[in-house]
Structure formats: C-alpha cells, structure tokens
Amino acid sequence: MELTLPTSKEPNKMSSIDYSSFKSPLNHPGEHLKLEYLPTYGLSPAEFSYAIGVDSEQTIELLNGERSMTAELALRLARFFNMSPEFWMNLQVQMTCHERRYDLEGSSKN
C-alpha cells in the first residue's frame, strides 16, 4: 500500500473540526476544569490550587474565564491529571480562534 501526501488541490484529510459553523462560543478551558474535572476528583478550587502549586486567585480567575490558559498552567494540569498539556492549550486556542473569527466575520459585515 502506497501512501501519498495531499497536494495543494486536495483537502487536508487530517484537518481538525471546523468550529466556524458553531453558533455559540466554545467553552473556556476553565469551564471544562470547573464542570468536568474538579467535581470528578471531589476537589474545591482551593484544594486544587494547593495540589498543583498555584495561587488560589489564579485558579479562581481561570475557572471564571477571566484568565487564559498558559503553557505553565497547562503543564501543571497535565501532570496532575496525567494527560497532555496540549489538550489544555488546544482548548484555549480553539476558543480564542473561534472568538476572533466571529469578531472578524462580524466586523466585515458592517
């Protein structure tokens, strides 16, 4: 079986999900953390902050969507949850790109 790379005329079959068709904004990484991860582990924000070694104010801001995911924080979350830091960074990138795409498309219609 021969593998071929797509040419510029062929669509990339490995591309990710097209979020441009989503009507509502994507969830902030902190919202995923607050709604899916902390309850599963039975941790309060303060307990979680202590466990990953960050200031509780930083955690609260992330959970409330007031702070963006950083590489350092993604590494701490990845270590704690035994997963990749790219998961957390990708959540932030996808949300930010979706917001900016919406802003750009909305401003081009005016």
Q: How far is CA 51 from the centre of its chain?
A: 21
Domains along the chain?
26-108 (1.10.260.40)
d(CA 49, CA 57): 9
Per-residue pLDDT at 13: 43
CA angle 61, 65, 71 (to 5 degrees): 75
Check: CB of residue 63 under 8 Å from CB of residue 34: yes
pTM, rounded to two decimals: 0.70
What are the structure tokens assigned to 71, written together?
A: 């590489």
Check: CB of residue 87 under 8 Å from CB of residue 76: no
**Going residue by residue through the chain (110 aa), what tens digit of pLDDT does each one get?**
444 444 444 444 434 555 555 555 578 999 999 999 999 999 999 999 999 999 999 999 999 999 999 999 999 999 999 999 999 999 999 988 888 887 787 766 55
Per-residue pLDDT at 21: 57
